[in-house]
Structure 1
Amino acid sequence: MDSNIEPAFQAQLQQATVYDSQQQNGFNHEPHFDITPQEQQDTSQQQLAAQACASCRKQKRKCDKLIPQCSLCQRIGRRCDYSEENRVLPPSAEEFTSLRQEVAELKHLLSSNVLPSARANASTKSSSDVSMSNDSSPANFLSSIIPNGQSQQPAWPAPSSFPSLFFLDSSAFEYERFQIQVPHIRVPPGALAALGSSAELRLMIENFFSSVHTYFPIVSKIRLYQHLANPLHEPGAEVALLFMAMKLVSTELPEGSPPQTPVYQDVKSFYTYMEAQNGFSIQMLQGLLLISLYEYGHGIYPAAYLSIGNAARLGHAMGLHARDVPQMLPRCTTWTEQEERRRVWWAVLILDRISNIGHRGKPFASAEPSPDMHLPTDDAAWDRGQMLAAAPLSLSASQTIRASSFARACQSVHLAGKVCRHIDDKTTPLDYRFEEALQLHRTLKALVALLPTEAEGEDPTAGPTLCSSMAICYSALLTLYDAYGCSERLVPDAPETQLIMQQESIQGIAEICESVLLLCRKIRQRIELGEGLGRLSPMTIECIYEAGASYAWYLRETSEPRYAEKLAEVSQLLRLCERRWRVAGQYLHYIDEFWQYGCMGDTDPREYISVIEATEYQMISAIR
């Protein structure tokens, strides 16, 4: 691995052109038309271009080079382009010599301008902590390679061309069988410096796959390694963006430091740069999803909410949500690649739903998945690139059929999304509304009863766990029960199902809070047994907060010491989770504020137990 990663990235600065895979393989998606002898004879008396048009070169067709349009392009009604910028020629030996000299000069600039400034800001940091620039702007790094006097103001290069017909009239785009060429975007030199050496990059990748990948498996391990090991593949800017996002989300923050680190600012600037260059790819969306996960886990709002919406828009534009819509990406060539795209879209749905559980009244940014949409397959088999013989599992399949951990998370978040839609929809008739609430209650309870049984036999060190799935189900149930458990929200003259749902909600809150408490103990046990905080999913924290708020309410209403003990246990885990995800500290602050303005002031819940016991003793003494 060591010998393959660094040369692959150094090739960014040593290559003059990019060979498009479809051009090399000669894929032809257009009908075969040949130039007739009469047309060929007529061309001798007309003005000819210096070279064949781009379309004929790509499809390997004979071009008569007529100006302004060759006969073949005119006959089939396609755009004819003779521009020199589309020519793809192998670099000559002189060009390679010149490039080597420029690379040497560029390395000198990087070592003299970039790295010393980073060392001056933090002399004790390793190269893995190097930021892209002093002010986190890729444009400044692009301007650093321009000689003095040629540019007064730093500016990004001109964006790659994109066929606007894809968005203006997708029917015409599909009818003409046009294809979108994935643009080649130059990597800002600072991005390579921020990733560090090949050894540091290898350690970062291994750390990512052993931590974040266990609960958010959206990056194919085998495809990533194959891509880096193949000398014919040139890693582009989208791969560099993905690596920076992997580094961002898998790195634990130092205690007390804010989450808006220089690396976070760099990767956000890098994505903005990619977007300005009309970039799009599955790696770019994966990088954006990891950025969104980081922002969600650290409570960086409204950035997290907007980033998730941006990811949904990009996924819709590329056509990941359905197969029968216009596609921006080329057709998949392997099962592993198809599964990766499916997982990426499910990740969009997961982040979109869980970020709206506590943020009521807002529509989802992503479309509702269809019942026949396939769930992710076995996680370990996908990591190995091993296609299973079993038929894929659809979303409408029975919950009793065993599924992978990530598939369970997808099922859970689908039900959580239905709960959010149900609560926000105020237009449905009352009888249907309460029937739907009861149906959601029964479906979620059935899945909740199934998950702990499956989790008993899992090996936490071997792969993903079901903690995220259980936490999402608990959050959905507590959200549903909160909407129907309060007697003040009862609707007059409502059907009998309203009282049934209220009874189920009051009883269900206590039961689910106990289940969350068991989940807290399980998480704490795994952390203390050596698993650490690296594999702690931020998706588990929201249900812990809801349980803590419920115990705070129980304690205020009943003053029973057992609720103070449970609240203290939940608060301790939130403090532990804060070391990995800062949003846990924000949740804990809200619980503390509730107590401050509720009944306890600044008293610790464990200290409140003795206060209750002393008060009960005084009351008994007074009665006697």
Structure 2
Amino acid sequence: MDFEIGQPTEIELAPQACASCRKQKRRCDKRLPICSLCSRIGRQCDYSVDVQTASPSQEDFVALRDQVSNLEQLLRGVAQGTVLLSNTSNGGSSNDSANGSSHLSHGSSPAGLLTPNSALTSAGQTPFPSIFFLDSSAFQYERFQIQHPQVKVPPGALVALGNSAELREMIEHYFSTVHNYFPIISKIRLYQHLANPLHEPGADVALLFLAMKLACSEIPDGMPAQTQLYQDVKSFYNFVEAQNGFSVQMIQALLLIALYEIGQCIYPAAYLSVGNSARVCYATGLHDRQAPQMLPRCNTWTEQEERRRVWWGAIVLDRFIHVGHRGKPFASPDPSLETHLPTDDASWDRGQMLVAAPLSLSASQTIRVSPFARTCQAAHLLGKVLRHMDDKQLPIDYRFGEALQLHRTMRALADVLPDEALHDDPSLQPSLCTSMAIVYSGLLTLYDGYSCTEHSVQSGQEGGEPQLVMQKESIDGLGEISGRCLTLARKVRTVVDNGEIGRLSPMVVDAIYQAAANYAWYVRESSDHSCSERLFELKELLMLLDRRWKVAGQYLFIIDDFWSRKDLEPPPSRMEAERFASA
């Protein structure tokens, strides 16, 4: 529409103030279709007239009949629409849903379920209430709620998901592989959500499905890690985020994207995705239930536990990605000792709330917890080690005392995990491999920094007896923990030989690399034959793991190109090699 220059645009006004402004006795400018105040704070604007007003006219009755007709058409469309999962009333039992069984109908396309109804999708982007960030105190005081926008699913996303049979197979494959070592998605809530005909999954659920497919996909030899699926998922996520489609599913998808990027060695995208996941958790309020919340209130224990696991997932990835990338601050702070650990994995998958009280991070490490809780404990201690190694302002007498305390705490957890793995359910193997690998990565990082203390302190400073004790523990610990990594590698090799390589976490690979780098250092120093054999065994495993996670091949390249080269003067430690490289 063309307007003449200088001609004012006519603004359509409602005959009375909106219901919200009338109730709160606020001044309303009566703009249509939404007043300025409601638009600013993102609430629903209702101009409906009270019952006490004048009786309806003939035009009102005609409009009401039209609305009823449209509603009937909408309900008929929902009843006749394609459904991915059959309802329990259509031949399925409620026990199937409780056990997490999916009832995906074969041959149908997911487009009918994943595409939001056009009648429910607004023409423009849903306005986000800026008051949430500008004055969160006012937002909480007024108890405003953020409306979840209806974001349309791009057609390309539906094509990538495939039909219902393919989608069902992908979901089952995900829960049998990635879910074992990174359980951040509630199986029962996902199936119940899809089985409910009143719920119409939108773009965030479609994005989560694509991210699940990406996380459990393997890359053929010779193909780049930035596959078409990866590019589609990244573009889809950016689109949903730009439309303010914040939800738990969107954060879960981002974490799975980051996990894929870490495993496939896609940098710096992996580093940025991990940092973004922590920021989004902050924005939505997942890190603290007392903070301003962007998401609706949880209705069930299972949902609250899912949000806790999502936040822990961001912390785990944030700590792990800094193992080899030193001197940078974390994107998330250290959780407090009162922070609850994830509950039992199997019970949570079934939606069964435990009678036992939840365990906090300060609980004794001798208390048996779930595999994912062990991963969270290991990642927390890893973060402590990395903060300690990067802190150059610690007094010399305090530095070695803190290093010894970290050594004792991490060794206590490292001693508990192998015993638990012996009594673990064989069907859940290798459930504790991730936590063991993270602990070993932290110990090797700590020992490498203190094995040659003349490079860990400034000249002229002495740490006294703690310095000598820590140096001895580090020298002995490098050999011992490298041996434990070899034992873990043999367990991983068994999993690979059994054709279950998809159940292995990419966070296992770093410990294997660090052990191989230590053995390569030993070979260059002493030409020890046993160390050479162990190095060969670890390098062979890295070659096999490269079929699943391309980061293993990159680690193998670093070992051959740097640690195993005879023409290089070996540095005193791997940490000293980092100093030489940055000099």
The alignment's TM-score, normalised by the length of structure 1, stands at 0.74
Distance 1:246 1:512, change over 3 A: same
> Match for residue 91 of structure 2?
none
Task: Give the SS at the match of 2:498.
Answer: helix
> Match for residue 362 of structure 1?
328
Give, in angstroms, the shift of residue 84 of structure 1. 8.2
> Match for residue 49 of structure 1?
14
Amino acid aligned to 2:268: P
> Match for residue 152 of structure 1?
none
> Match for residue 518 of structure 1?
487
> Match for residue 285 of structure 2?
319
Tell me if structure 2 keeps the 8 A contact 1:51–1:65. Answer: no
> Match for residue 148 of structure 1?
none
> Match for residue 37 of structure 1?
none
Amino acid aligned to 1:264: Y
Query: Is it true that 1:570 corresponds to 2:538 in the alignment?
Result: yes
> Match for residue 364 of structure 2?
398
Give, in angstroms, the shift of residue 494 of structure 1. 2.5
Tell me if structure 2 keeps the 8 A contact 1:48–1:65. Answer: no
> Match for residue 576 of structure 2?
none
Task: Give the SS at the match of 2:464.
Answer: coil
Query: Is it true that 1:500 corresponds to 2:466 in the alignment?
Result: no
Match of residue 512, structure 2, among 539, 544, 555:
544
In 1, Cα distance between the equivalents of 2:181 and 2:514? 21
> Match for residue 336 of structure 1?
302
> Match for residue 38 of structure 1?
none
In 1, Cα distance between the equivalents of 2:456 and 2:44? 68
In 1, Cα distance between the equivalents of 2:444 and 2:24? 67
Amino acid aligned to 1:512: I
Tell me if structure 1 keeps the 8 A contact 2:382–2:439. Answer: yes
- Residues 167-316 of structure 1 mapped to structure 2, 5 A cutoff: 167-316=133-282
In 1, Cα distance between the equivalents of 2:464 and 2:282? 41
Task: Give the SS at the match of 1:280.
Answer: coil
Match of residue 584, structure 1, among 544, 552, 560:
552
> Match for residue 35 of structure 1?
none
Tell me if structure 2 keeps the 8 A contact 1:380–1:463. Answer: no
Amino acid aligned to 1:357: V
Tell me if structure 1 keeps the 8 A contact 2:153–2:202. Answer: yes
Distance 1:425 1:63, change over 3 A: closer
Amino acid aligned to 1:476: G
Query: Is it true that 1:353 corresponds to 2:319 in the alignment?
Result: yes
In 2, Cα distance between the equivalents of 1:316 and 1:267? 22
In 1, Cα distance between the equivalents of 2:228 and 2:149? 28
Tell me if structure 2 keeps the 8 A contact 1:170–1:326. Answer: yes
Question: Which ranges of structure 2 fall in alignment gaps of 5 or more residues?
Answer: 1-11, 49-63, 78-106, 570-583
Tell me if structure 1 keeps the 8 A contact 2:43–2:146. Answer: no
Amino acid aligned to 1:541: V
Q: Percent identity?
A: 61
In 1, Cα distance between the equivalents of 2:126 and 2:545? 43
> Match for residue 383 of structure 2?
417
Distance 1:158 1:276, change over 3 A: farther
CA displacement, residues 287-337 of structure 1 (integer Å, 9 cap, x when unaligned): 000000000001100000000000000001111111221111111100000
In 2, Cα distance between the equivalents of 1:444 and 1:542? 17
CA displacement, residues 231-253 of structure 1 (integer Å, 9 cap, x when unaligned): 00010100000000000011111
In 1, Cα distance between the equivalents of 2:416 and 2:43? 60
In 1, Cα distance between the equivalents of 2:127 and 2:438? 42
Distance 1:181 1:568, change over 3 A: same
In 2, Cα distance between the equivalents of 1:392 and 1:410? 14
> Match for residue 529 of structure 1?
498
Give, in angstroms, the shift of residue 191 of structure 1. 1.0
Give, in angstroms, the shift of residue 50 of structure 1. 5.8
In 2, Cα distance between the equivalents of 1:472 and 1:524? 18
CA RMSD of aligned residues (A): 3.4
In 1, Cα distance between the equivalents of 2:17 and 2:320? 53
> Match for residue 606 of structure 1?
none
Tell me if structure 2 keeps the 8 A contact 1:159–1:276. Answer: no
In 2, Cα distance between the equivalents of 1:490 and 1:184? 55
In 1, Cα distance between the equivalents of 2:42 and 2:254? 34
Tell me if structure 1 keeps the 8 A contact 2:341–2:358. Answer: yes
Distance 1:473 1:527, change over 3 A: same
Give, in angstroms, the shift of residue 526 of structure 1. 2.0
> Match for residue 394 of structure 2?
428
In 2, Cα distance between the equivalents of 1:349 and 1:443? 19
Amino acid aligned to 1:243: F
CA displacement, residues 360-412 of structure 1 (integer Å, 9 cap, x when unaligned): 00000012101100000000000000000000010000001110000000000
Distance 1:54 1:454, change over 3 A: farther
Tell me if structure 2 keeps the 8 A contact 1:575–1:585. Answer: yes
Tell me if structure 2 keeps the 8 A contact 1:516–1:544. Answer: yes
CA displacement, residues 562-597 of structure 1 (integer Å, 9 cap, x when unaligned): 111000000010001000000000000000102563
> Match for residue 423 of structure 2?
457
Task: Give the SS at the match of 2:427.
Answer: coil
In 1, Cα distance between the equivalents of 2:464 and 2:236? 56
Tell me if structure 2 keeps the 8 A contact 1:381–1:387. Answer: yes
Tell me if structure 2 keeps the 8 A contact 1:242–1:283. Answer: yes
Tell me if structure 2 keeps the 8 A contact 1:49–1:66. Answer: no
Give, in angstroms, the shift of residue 430 of structure 1. 1.1
Amino acid aligned to 1:455: A
Amino acid aligned to 2:237: Y
Tell me if structure 1 keeps the 8 A contact 2:274–2:317. Answer: yes
Task: Give the SS at the match of 1:598.
Answer: coil
In 2, Cα distance between the equivalents of 1:442 and 1:92? 70
Tell me if structure 1 keeps the 8 A contact 2:261–2:269. Answer: yes
> Match for residue 573 of structure 2?
none
> Match for residue 561 of structure 2?
593
> Match for residue 40 of structure 1?
none
Match of residue 446, structure 1, among 403, 412, 418:
412
Tell me if structure 2 keeps the 8 A contact 1:54–1:82. Answer: yes
In 2, Cα distance between the equivalents of 1:211 and 1:184? 31
When the two structures are aligned, how many residues end up with a matched partner?
497
Tell me if structure 2 keeps the 8 A contact 1:49–1:65. Answer: no
In 2, Cα distance between the equivalents of 1:321 and 1:488? 40
Task: Give the SS at the match of 2:353.
Answer: coil
In 1, Cα distance between the equivalents of 2:43 and 2:265? 51
Amino acid aligned to 1:527: V
> Match for residue 374 of structure 1?
340
> Match for residue 561 of structure 1?
529
In 2, Cα distance between the equivalents of 1:385 and 1:595? 49
In 2, Cα distance between the equivalents of 1:562 and 1:78? 68
In 1, Cα distance between the equivalents of 2:123 and 2:171? 30
Distance 1:231 1:519, change over 3 A: same
Amino acid aligned to 2:242: A
Give, in angstroms, the shift of residue 443 of structure 1. 0.4
In 2, Cα distance between the equivalents of 1:443 and 1:64? 58
Give, in angstroms, the shift of residue 99 of structure 1. 12
Give, in angstroms, the shift of residue 54 of structure 1. 6.0
